[in-house]
Amino acid sequence: MKRSEQEKELSRRTIGRRGLVIGGLQLAFAGTLLWRLREMQLNQSEEFRLLAEENRINLRLLPPVRGLILDRNGVLLAGNEQNYRVVIKRDDVGDIDLVLGRLAQLIPLTEDDIERTRRDMLRNRPFVPVTVAERLSWEEISRVAANAPALPGVTPEMGLSRLYPLRQDTAHVVGYVGPVSERDLEALETPDPVLMIPRFQIGKSGVERMAEDRLRGRAGSQRVEVNSVGRVMRELDRVEGTPGANVHLTIDAKLQNYALERLHGQSAAAVVVDVTNGDILALASGPSFDPNMFVRGISTTNFNELLNNDYRPLVNKTVQGMYPPGSTFKMVTGLAALEDGVTDGQETVFCPGHMDVSGNRFHCWKRGGHGRVGLVSALAESCDVYFYEMAQRCGIDKINAMSTRLGLGIRYDLPITSVAGGLNPTREWKRNNRNAEWRIGDTVNASIGQGFVLSTPLQLAVLTARLATNRAVLPRLVRDPLERSDRELASLDLRPEWLRMIRQGMNQTVNDRRGTAYSSRVVADGQTMAGKTGTSQVFSITRAEREAGIRRQEDLPWNRRNHALFVSYAPYDNPRYAVSVVVEHGGGGSSAATPIGRDIMLAALNDASPPLSAYPAPQRNRIEFEQREMEQRLRRPEDMRISRA
């Protein structure tokens, strides 16, 4: 049927309107597309270029060279050595078991090494290299390189690893490094990205840990071209990192070695401090351990041997060990009584061998008593009763104040781990910690360094240095080698006449025939030593043990015997060094600790093994024999490598 002209006109109009709408929509879409293309090409081109570049180029961190740790003379205590290692990448390896099996035929790999490698490969992304073995010889790394076609994904590399050339000598001071752990990362608010590098090592103890930020340095970078799955195609750019700063310690490596060897066979600690500036010259804790074992991965067997050793080689006894100071504390009680005015130091007190206080009997170490003694003779002969009397007169508050003034009970800010603060007990401390009131018997016990009083060997060395100088000596372990070695130390403002009596008592302790350390005197001109012996009780001999015939310390098991202590300074007329020695369960201070303290003091004064002429003539044959034995253990001068870095 034919349509009319009117119908045809209506249809044309409808089609025209639709065409216009469709055309308009097409134009709008094309305009929008063109506008978006313009935006992407002109305004956002840089952003998309960077995104594309990141898909093609990866930025990888390069571990920095760790700073060195040196002694006061430039002897290397912690350095870096070349480390040949083999790494493997999971995305290239194919059959992991097959490749690791082939690798085990070329280099020494244990089942534990293979299992650890599998575990590390699964933890990391496929293209992240995992260390299979390190510290390989040149021959071993060469075998791996020669067999590279049969070892897909395996790459031989050369890097740096931490080395402690003096091994056990400075283990407790310098510490050691180890791989970053989850616990290490959790302890940091914003971890350095370099810590994410597989098996990157950081300080775990000692100066290595406390000076980590200085020693670590800043990471370098490597720009590499990668394909779509992250596999490296080629290196585009490389910027080496900034090496860590070197750290210079006040320790004298030669004296440290001598002190540690002098403690050989004992569970003991020795500290040497320069009284003029507080520099710590030796911080020896025996027995020690080889920190290189921890860097290379210590075995469970070796670690358990260290952990279960009764002599506790992993503990730095110089700053962690807290001991009753025993009679080395008597100088504190004497000065507290002098300052309080309850004695002039000249009056005498009668010692019958004991004192009854509040219904309790407190004995003197000399059961028959010392008779009448003044301050000087009470120190020289270590009379307990004299100080029982002085303590009751001045009280614990005065004793505590003097103890703090002389450097006890203070946690010194040193860059080593686990520095203990000791304990200067007070009335408030006992209420808070023992839920009991302070008693006069507590004061009597504290007067001779027993009861609740605890000190570290470092604190005892500081105490002695302050007595020798009347200065607030502060121990220092790290210093800038360019700064002056001396530094201003505040005065303690103790009256010279008081210190004169204390020093005279310490002098007579060593150099008077009635002194408790007379057998360990020094006879060399200009090297006269003053000191104080101490014996701190660990366990009392029970009534049952006495009835069984156990009456002497030597009859007790080793871990129940008394601790032996000795503090000293020299030369007497012009003090230079202070030494403290603690021998755990050594028995008497005069027999166990004092000879060690004398030898270490002589080594410091002479910058060498002590000369025989410094010892009393009757002792020289024995000393010569002991020195010959010790010489075999001491390090030779060529072992003390001076760093040129």
Tens of pLDDT along 335-362? 999 999 999 999 999 999 999 999 899 9
- Burial profile 450-484: b = 16 or more Cβ within 10 angstroms, e = fewer: bbbbbbbbbbbbbbbbbbbbbbbbbbbbbbeeeee
- How many distinct helices (H) and strands (E) make up the chain? 23, 19
pLDDT tens digits for range 243-253: 899 999 999 99
Give the pLDDT confidence score for residue 412 in this predicted structure: 96
How much helix, strand and coil, in percent to the nearest 5, is found in the chain?
45, 20, 35
pLDDT tens digits for range 281-311: 999 999 999 999 988 778 788 889 999 999 9
Give the pLDDT confidence score for residue 120 in this predicted structure: 76
Please check whether residue 63 is in contact with residue 196, taking contact to mean a CB–CB distance below 8 angstroms.
no
Q: Which of 365-374, 525-534, 544-553 has the lowest mean pLDDT?
A: 544-553
Residue 61, token pair as written in the block: 């961190």
pLDDT tens digits for range 206-244: 999 999 989 998 877 777 666 554 455 666 677 777 889
Give the pLDDT confidence score for residue 604 in this predicted structure: 96
| DSSP 8-state assignment for residue 43 | I
Give the pLDDT confidence score for residue 44 in this predicted structure: 61
Q: For residue 475, is pLDDT > 80?
A: yes
Average pLDDT of the chain?
86
Give the pLDDT confidence score for residue 503 in this predicted structure: 97
Higher-pLDDT residue of 38 and 213 is: 213
- What's the CA gap between 279 and 473, in Å, rounded? 9
Please check whether residue 437 is in contact with residue 431, taking contact to mean a CB–CB distance below 8 angstroms.
yes
Residue 136 located in a structural domain: yes
Give the pLDDT confidence score for residue 549 in this predicted structure: 59
Helix (H, G, I), strand (E, B) or coil at 293: helix
Tell the burial category of 87 from Cβ atoms under 10 Å away from its Cβ (0-12, 13-18, 19+).
buried
Q: For residue 32, is pLDDT > 90?
A: no
What are the beta bridge partners of residue 82?
160
Residue 92 located in a structural domain: yes
- What's the CA gap between 560 and 541, in Å, rounded? 9
- What's the CA gap between 132 and 286, in Å, rounded? 35
AA identity, residue 361: R
- Sign of CA pseudo-dihedral 177, 183, 189, 193: positive
- What's the CA gap between 246 and 235, in Å, rounded? 31
> Which of the four pLDDT bands, split at 50, 70 and 90, describes residue 313?
very high
Residue 352 located in a structural domain: no
Q: For residue 45, is pLDDT > 70?
A: no
The tally of domains found in the chain comes to 1
Within its chain, how far is the Cα of 456 from the centroid? 15
Q: Who's near 640: CB < 8 A, 6+ residues apart?
A: 75, 166, 253, 254
Residue 147 located in a structural domain: yes
- What's the CA gap between 345 and 497, in Å, rounded? 10
Helix (H, G, I), strand (E, B) or coil at 159: strand
Domain with 134 in it: what CATH number?
Answer: 3.30.1390.10
Residue 61: count of CB within 10 angstroms of its CB: 18
Give the pLDDT confidence score for residue 208 in this predicted structure: 94
Residue length of the chain: 645
Residue 116 located in a structural domain: yes
- What's the CA gap between 224 and 233, in Å, rounded? 7
Which listed residue (267, 285, 288, 327) is catalytic? 327
The answer to whether residue 45 is catalytic is: no
Max intra-chain CA distance, the chain: 151
Residue 150 located in a structural domain: yes
Give the pLDDT confidence score for residue 333 in this predicted structure: 97
Q: How many CA atoms lie within 13 A of 599 on its CB side?
A: 23
Residue 35, token pair as written in the block: 């506008």
What proportion of the chain, given as a percentage, has pLDDT over 70? 85
Give the pLDDT confidence score for residue 229 in this predicted structure: 46
Give the pLDDT confidence score for residue 458 in this predicted structure: 98
Give the pLDDT confidence score for residue 191 in this predicted structure: 76
Tell the burial category of 546 from Cβ atoms under 10 Å away from its Cβ (0-12, 13-18, 19+).
exposed
The range of the structural domain enclosing residue 135 comes to: 83-159
pLDDT tens digits for range 374-396: 999 999 999 999 999 999 999 99
Of 508, 567, 504, 480, which is closest to residue 272 (Cα–Cα)? Answer: 567
Please check whether residue 198 is in contact with residue 87, taking contact to mean a CB–CB distance below 8 angstroms.
no
Residue 97 located in a structural domain: yes
Q: For residue 269, is pLDDT > 80?
A: yes
Average pLDDT over residues 565-572: 97
Please check whether residue 435 is in contact with residue 303, taking contact to mean a CB–CB distance below 8 angstroms.
no
Average pLDDT over residues 198-203: 79
Q: Who's near 197: CB < 8 A, 6+ residues apart?
A: 61, 63, 219
**What torsion, rounded to 10 degrees, do the Cα atoms 334, 338, 344, 345 define?**
20
- What's the CA gap between 564 and 269, in Å, rounded? 11
Answer whether the bond into residue 571 is a cis peptide, omega within 30°: yes
Q: For residue 551, is pLDDT > 60?
A: no
pLDDT tens digits for range 405-441: 999 999 999 999 999 999 999 999 999 999 999 999 9
Q: Which phi and psi angles does 480 have, rounded to 5°? A: -75, 125
Q: How many CA atoms lie within 13 A of 528 on its CB side?
A: 15
Residue 306: count of CB within 10 angstroms of its CB: 17
- What's the CA gap between 324 and 67, in Å, rounded? 39
Higher-pLDDT residue of 232 and 637 is: 637
